[in-house]
Amino acid sequence: MQVSLIEAAASLSDLVQAAINGEEVILLDGDRPAIKFTPITSAKPRPKFGSAKGLVWMSDDFDEPLEEMKEYME
């Protein structure tokens, strides 16, 4: 939707609501686009530390040398 600045002054709240509803609203200064209304998206939620607890399992001998590598470690 493109609206002149004069028209926008009369119906600003309607234009803001249209932008909030996802419609692209562009205000024109004469014949050229001057301002674009877009809704602000909410920030991504922060990760919750510890939320993966119990989902990852590691063997007790995880850091032990591999049998195949013993000859290289001597």
pTM of the entire predicted model: 0.50
- In terms of Cα–Cα distance, which of 13, 44, 68, 66 is closest to 25? 13
Spell out the domain ranges in the chain.
1-39
**pLDDT, position 9:** 84
Note the helical H segments in 1-74: 5-10, 12-20
**pLDDT, position 45:** 80
Rounded to 5°, the CA angle 48-50-52 comes to: 95
Rg of the Cα atoms in the chain: 29
Alpha-carbon distance of 46 to 54, in angstroms, equals 20
**pLDDT, position 68:** 87
Q: Identify the CATH number of the domain defined by range 1-39.
A: 3.40.1620
Give me the residues of the chain with pLDDT under 50, please: none
